[in-house]
Amino acid sequence: MATVIRTPKDYRTNAAPWWCPGCGDFGVLRALQEAAAKLNLAPENVVLVAGIGCSGKIGDYFRSYSVHTVHGRTMPVAMGIKLANRDLTVIAAGGDGDGYGIGLNHFIHAVRRNIDITYIVMDNHIYGLTKGQFSPTSAQGFKTTSSPAGTADRPIKPLQLALSAGVTYLAQAFSSHPDHMAEIIAEAIQHKGFSLVNCISPCVTYNKVNTYDFYKERLVNLDEDPDYDPRNYDLAVETVRKYDELVIGRIYIDDSQPSYQDLLPGYAEEPLVKARLEYEPEHWQAILKEFA
Amino acid sequence: MSNELTWVVGGQQGEGIDTTGEILASALNRLGYYIYGYRTFGSRIKGGHTNYRIRIAQRPVYGIAPQIDVLIAFDQDSINRLAGEMAPGGVVVFNGKGGRGKLPPGVEGVRLIEVPMVDLARELGNPIMKNMVGVGVSAALLGLAPEDIEPIIDERFAGKGGKLVEANKTALRRGYDAALQALGEADGHLHLAPADGRRRYLMTGDEAAAFGALVAGCRLVAAYPITPASEIMHWLVKKLPQYGGVVVQSEDEIAAISTVIGAGYAGVRALTSTSGPGFSLMQEALGYAGMIEAPCVIVNVQRAGPSTGMPTKHEQSDLFEMVMGSHGDLPRIVLAPVTIEDCFYGAVDAFNLADRYQTPVILALDLALGLAKQTVEGIDFERVRIDRGAVALPDDLNWEGGDFKRYRFTDTGISPRSLPGMPGGLHLATGLEHDETGHITEDRGNRVRMMQKRLRKFTQVDGVEAVRYEGPEQPEVLLVGWGASYGALREAREILTERGVATGHAHIRLLAPFPAGPVAELLGRARHVIVAENNAQGQLAALMRQHIDSADKARLRTLNKYDGTLFLPAEIVEPVLAAVSPMAASAKEVG
Ligand SMILES: Cc1ncc(C[n+]2csc(CCOP(=O)(O)OP(=O)(O)O)c2C)c(N)n1
Ligand code: SF4
């Protein structure tokens, strides 16, 4: 059989995106499609697990098996799918509200488990779909519909959080540079273990602070710094702190850690979906005897 | 000699009281007695009263008995709590830490004897062996031989070295001899009549459900620890790895059910086990599973609520939530096993239904079903069939590309599903309303048809026992219940029948979709209907009223117990007799 060569088009669905013109999420979708093409992934072997929010709609636009979960639960759902079938490429995607607000607990646990999934957070520092409330990554003092006097909350720092939880692949990318983002996402997918790609994806409708220009003026690209070594944990911690997380590129990579599923007793080489289910009655009689 | 009696050991939590009960229960089981073993414990690990109660009989028993014949008390507190339940002629064996035991005032016809159980154990070098001394004392009282117990000691301490095995056997003998001496021949009436020696099995409902899940092909478990459901995870974590299955201890119940939904969507039979508070956390995900039509099984081992309520006490008060919880019009299947043995078959049914109807299935246990230990005659593995439901065949799939109609409108409402990895089966699974291909839409026509499709799946859930009925064709009184009250209701029926009241007993096994037809038919046969359940609001009665017509409604009376304990048969018999007497014709509610 001839090898199929796929292009980003192969990962497009017929649904037209419901995002505002100019939304950063277009860049993330494009980057994801490019990354999939780069890796020539068969769409049937990819499951995209999306959150709730404008960002979560990405699942309807990316051609693969797609799961649109309830708010904040992408991590455990993705984990169930990966454990069920290790042959699948499982990618989770959602907003900062979804992942670092309602789903924060699951996020930390997914990181610490080092389960082999890739998590793309479309971080716009706002709740887009519910019309512009502040999100857990919004800066303190940020004025929104739910914080007219400016938020009292201090922001979550997702990169530092991921580093402290033991992330084994950490990168940040920017929607304005979808090719760079695609390169990173492709690499993250290939990483054996949990990978987080925090994608800065501006909301042009509700966030008038964290705009494209805001980032263009501030973001530092670590991939262009010959002195930066993403395998140096202390340097990574120091760098994200120094730039207050306003960096893009590969931040930290550790290939030496075993993944969760490989440490889990019973997790076989063969995908779980193919496990044998039926046994002869005599087989079960032996277990029944343990109750005698 | 006795054909039936109740033995109880009481003491402080963390002192190995359960071990005493379990060793004796295992020995009795091997001898061929029927057992119902029930633990009373508090919500702490060390300290506080605990007791292990074993009803020992020559016939199947499904619940506790009203009186205690033998009480082994390791502290005065146990005597104070339990002496009031002693049967006339019963024996209390006491030895605590110093001091002499006292029977509370008003307790008569009960013999208190002192056996220095703790001192004997201390002499043997380990005070914790007082439990084995207690087993020896019990053997003497019940007329068993130390040889009946020794094999259990061999097995239980096998991994811990021969020295420990020997020490425990010595403790057993010391207790046995000391009790014979203290008792003399006088208490032979407590001796058990010999049993048939047939091999039967002793298991808890949690174990039976876990075993059923394994046999049904469950290969992934994700759960968060909670009393009284953790034992399900504990049992499966020992077994699943041998079958290429995995157990995830989730960070919370929301994660647990979400992982199970993910696995179910991807084609693996998966289960989560929980109790009230955890089940409440799962409500949003429950609706999600219904909407994306992902099979999943949730075992809810109910305990006393609301909120964290009484974690170690029995109740059946999550019925409303199981049947109606989660927002929107969510069809779901709720199955309540009737006995501990039925927890096995119920689990098998649950997995088949989840796959066939592509939906969440809730297996409703309660604390008494989950944690009580009961004799199981055997399990009929030939009865187990694995039915994976409608999975798309290669020909159904869209090889040409484009979208697979995962949610195809069909006559049955069941749409063959594709699993990730199947080429041509791509689709979106979303909790938002969607069309046949899964794409999000709020089109009115599609909404109505899609809702009807989902509901259609549940118009008839077949292939499972919906109601278990025992009794005459035309009963005067019909007792109705669910879950662990089966034992008390069954015995109440026997007692009422002996007293000349023709009594039937319907135990509802399928709570949702409610088997309105069969239930109405049974109600139609009886003059009086009494619904007995362990909750304050009469939740099953309310559910029945929702599904039956007004004539039957008027005859329905309720009997509720919600103090954290099981019904005793007499607590059903007496109100029923009062209700059916002509004098009480006007009484509307019982209890
Ligand atoms: C349990 C629950 N609570 C609240 C909501 C409402 N809700 C939908 S999207 C959203 C916020 C999404 O924010 P974010 O994840 O940052 O995504 P964005 O829309 O900004 O891409 C909220 C609160 C919900 N769907 N479910
Ligand atoms: S509201 Fe903001 S996040 Fe949502 S689509 Fe519009 S621009 Fe994007």
Q: Per residue in B433-467, pLDDT tens?
A: 999 999 999 999 999 999 999 999 998 788 999 99
Which pLDDT score is estimated for A118? 98
Checking if the pLDDT of B514 tops 90, the result is yes
Whether ligand 1 lies within 6 angstroms of the CB of A260 is answered as no
Closest CB to B266: pick one of A44, A81, A277: A81
Confidence check: pLDDT of B186 > 80: no
Q: Do B219 and A272 touch (CB under 8 A)?
A: yes
Q: What single DSSP character describes residue A196?
A: E
Q: Is B451 on the interface with A (CB under 8 A)?
A: no
pLDDT (tens digit per residue) in A198-242: 999 999 999 999 999 999 999 999 999 999 999 999 999 999 999
Closest CA to B349 of B383, B302, B391: B383
Chain A closest CA to B494's CA: distance in Å? 29
Q: Give the distance from residue B255's alpha carbon to the nearest chain A alpha carbon, in angstroms.
A: 5
How close A232 comes to chain B (CA, Å)?
A: 29
Please report which ligand is nearest the Cα atom of A73. 1
Residue in chain B lying closest to A66 (CA): B428
Closest ligand 1 atom to Cα of A101: 15
Residue type, A52: I
CB count within 10 Å of CB B569 equals 21
Tell me the nearest-neighbour CA distance from B158 into chain A, angstroms. 15
Q: How far is the CA of A134 from the centre of ligand 2 (A)?
A: 13
**Ligand 1 pocket, A124 CB below 6 A?**
yes
Answer yes or no: is the C-beta of A159 below 6 A from any ligand 1 atom: no
Q: Which residue, among A70, A75, A278, would best test binding to B if mutated, counting the most B CBs under 10 Å from its CB?
A: A70
In the reported structure, the alpha carbon of residue A57 is separated from the centroid of ligand 2 by a whole-number distance in angstroms of 11
Considering only CB atoms, which chain A residues are within 8 Å of B215?
279, 284
Tell me if B270 and A80 make a contact (CB, 8 A cut-off).
Answer: yes
Cα within 13 Å of Cα(B565), Cβ side = 11
Query: Considering chain B, what is the average pLDDT of its residues?
Result: 94
Instruction: Render pLDDT for B337-355 as a digit per residue (tens, 0 to 9).
Output: 999 999 999 999 999 999 9
**Which residue of chain B is at minimal alpha-carbon distance from A53?**
B432
pLDDT of residue B586 exceeding 70, the answer is no
Whether B399 shows a pLDDT value over 80: the answer reads: no
Alpha-carbon distance of B430 to B409, in angstroms, equals 17
Asked if the C-beta of A212 comes within 8 angstroms of chain B's C-beta atoms, the answer is no
Quote the CA–CA distance of A151 and A142 in Å, as a whole number: 5
Closest residue (by CA) to atom 11 of ligand 1?
A127
Residue B97 and residue B116: Cα distance in Å, rounded?
10
Mean pLDDT of A64-92: 98
The answer to whether B138 touches B69, Cβ cutoff 8 Å, is no
| pTM, entire model | 0.96
Whether B234 contacts chain A with CB within 8 A: no
Instruction: Name every chain B residue with its beta carbon within 8 A of the beta carbon of A44.
Output: 420-426
> Which numbered ligand comes closest to the C-alpha of A135?
1
- Could you report the per-residue pLDDT of B104-145, keeping only the tens digit for each? 999 999 999 999 999 999 999 888 999 999 999 999 999 999
User: How far are the Cα atoms of B46, B240, B289 from residue B510, in angstroms, in the given order?
Assistant: 39, 28, 20
Tell me which DSSP letter residue A147 carries.
B
Q: Taking a contact as any Cβ pair under 8 Å apart, which residues of chain A between 105 and 124 contact chain B?
A: 105-106, 109
Strand order in the sheet with B477-481: B467-470, B503-508, B477-481, B528-533, B556-560
Mean pLDDT of B44-51: 90
| Integer Cα distance of B348 and A287 in angstroms | 16
Q: Hey, what amino acid is at B503?
A: T
List the 6-65 stretch of B: residues with Cβ below 8 A of A.
29-30
Question: In angstroms, rounded to a whole number, what is the distance separating the alpha carbons of residues B457 and B459?
Answer: 6
Q: What confidence score (pLDDT) does residue B588 get? A: 43
B 195-214 residues with CB below 8 A of A?
199-203, 207, 211, 214
d(CA B315, CA A247): 55
B207/A291 Cβ within 8 A: yes
* Ligand 2 pocket at CB < 6 A: A 19-20, 23, 25, 54, 124, 128, 203-206
Residue B551 confidence (pLDDT): 81
For residue B254, which ligand has an atom nearest its CA?
Answer: 1
Residue with tokens 């953790």, as numbered in its chain: B230
Ligand nearest to the CA of A210: 2
Q: Does ipTM come in above 0.95?
A: yes
Asked if A60 and B430 come within 8 Å (Cβ–Cβ), the reply is yes
> Which residue among A66, A88, A292 sits closest to B429, beta carbon to beta carbon?
A66
Ligand 1: atom nearest CA of A201 is 21
Element (H, E) at A145: none
**Rounded Cα gap, residues B569 and B268, in angstroms:** 43
Using a CB–CB cutoff of 8 Å, tell me whether A287 touches chain B: yes
Residue A265 forms contact with B (CB below 8 Å)? yes
Residues 33-72 of chain A with CB under 8 A from chain B are: 42-45, 47, 49, 57, 59-60, 63-70
Q: By the 8 A CB rule, do B274 and B232 touch?
A: no
Verify whether ligand 1 is closer than 6 Å to residue A126 (CB atom): yes
Q: Do A64 and B426 touch (CB under 8 A)?
A: yes
Spatial contact of B358 and B414, defined as CB atoms under 8 Å apart: yes
Residues B172-185: pLDDT tens digits? 999 999 999 988 76
List the residue whose alpha carbon is closest to atom 1 of ligand 2. Answer: A128
End-to-end CA distance of chain A: 56
Instruction: Measure the CA–CA gap between B454 and B86, rounded to whole angstroms.
Output: 55
pLDDT for the residue numbered B403: 78
- The mean pLDDT value for B291-306 works out to 98
As a whole number of Å, the CA-based R_g of chain B is: 26
DSSP-based three-state secondary structure for A20: coil
Chain B residues within 8 A of A267 when measuring between CB atoms: 244, 246
B59-116: pLDDT as tens digits: 999 999 999 999 999 999 999 999 999 999 999 999 866 678 899 999 999 999 999 9
